[in-house]
Amino acid sequence: MAEHNLLEAVNLALRHAMAEDDRVLVLGEDVGVLGGVFRATDGLLQAYGGKRVFDTPLAETVIAGVAVGLAAQGFRPVAEIQFMGFIYPTIDQLVNHASRLRNRTRGRLSCPMVLRAPYGGGIHAPEHHSESTEAMLAHIPGLRVVIPSSPRRAYGLLLSAIRDPDPVVFLEPKRIYRAFKEPCSDDGEAWPLDRAEILRRGTDVTLISWGAMIRECLTAAEQLAGDGVETEVIDVATLAPLDTETILTSVQRTGRVVIVHEAAGNGGYGGEIAARIAEEGLYDLEAPIRRVTGYDTVMPLPRLEHLYMPNVPRIVEAVLACLTPA
């Protein structure tokens, strides 16, 4: 089985989806001739032609609006926004049209579109290129928010997102676009949406995260294992709708929780996860829930970015604090 990095896995999934369904279209700024700012769509124009892969003006509102219109007419558009920092003009289309088209038309129309965007920090980019505002999108009813953490999951989750009958925002952690490779078969097998995955079993504490922070959590878990601490690591994968059941079942086993994300702590999605645990699993907890997050400030780009991002020492410190009797 060939090995691919996350970026290559995205390209592989797009190729597979376009080959199996001629309703799948790819659009966005520079996705055609250039192959995307990160080359995620490289070669698609040559393979499928200008009627199915086309460049758009530098107008994110237009990109999202065209995608909504195409989806309403039976196509399955995959629209790329070059960076999450540029996603804000699409909110009007996502909130007022894509997310509620099924309800507004009483099921007569649906909106099977995917909005892809690289997100998060870790590559020392300039301003507006390192946002992590997934909580804002997860707050929109009727919109799925999916974030892969590895090449295999990127391939399978993107195929599921494209095949889904409703709108999906697919956020790709660019910090790990080319960070590592793993075996990834182009077999067309979709990864289930709306389901968290336990990547590592443990009995002492549950680590919950998504995207690029999963690697930090797994590394922290390995380090903690050397000290006799068995950590369970959960990849949320789909933030909305959230797989609460998998999380609560894990909390029943461990009794302790640390939630990790690179977005700012204030209003971050970790707070939603903590609230659900408090509402439905409070009596399983043996210690307060802890969060390891970015700071409540604009990311200090580019030189101090590494101080903003959650890291292994901060995660280990939070886990040990959970295990320390009050």
pLDDT digits (tens, 9 = 90+) for 39-61: 999 999 999 999 999 999 999 99
Mean pLDDT along residues 68-82 = 98
Token readout for 233 is 């690591």
Q: Indicate if the pLDDT at residue 4 is higher than 90.
A: yes
Q: Are 107 and 281 in contact (CB under 8 A)?
A: no
Of the pLDDT bands very low, low, confident and very high (cuts 50, 70, 90), residue 134 is very high
Q: Quick one: pLDDT at residue 321?
A: 96
> Count of CB atoms within 10 A of residue 125's CB?
18
Of the pLDDT bands very low, low, confident and very high (cuts 50, 70, 90), residue 303 is confident
| 3-183 against 197-323: fold identical | yes
The set of residues, in sequence order, having a beta carbon less than 8 Å from that of 265 and lying 6+ positions away, is: 271, 291, 293, 294, 295, 296
Closest C-alpha among 234, 267, 34 to residue 137: 267
Mean pLDDT along residues 211-218 = 98
- Would you list the domain boundaries of the chain? 3-183, 197-323
- Point out the residues that are catalytic: 129
Token readout for 267 is 């209003």
Of the pLDDT bands very low, low, confident and very high (cuts 50, 70, 90), residue 326 is low
Query: pLDDT tens digits for 152-187?
Result: 999 999 999 999 999 999 999 999 999 999 999 999
Mean pLDDT along residues 214-237 = 98
Mean pLDDT along residues 283-288 = 97
Q: Indicate if the pLDDT at residue 193 is higher than 90.
A: yes
Mean pLDDT along residues 231-238 = 98
Classified as helix, coil or strand, 81 is coil
Mean pLDDT along residues 217-223 = 98
Q: What is the mean pLDDT of the chain?
A: 96
CATH class of 3-183: alpha beta
CATH entry 3.20.20.70 includes domain 197-323: no
Query: Where is pLDDT greater, at 128 or 195?
Result: 195
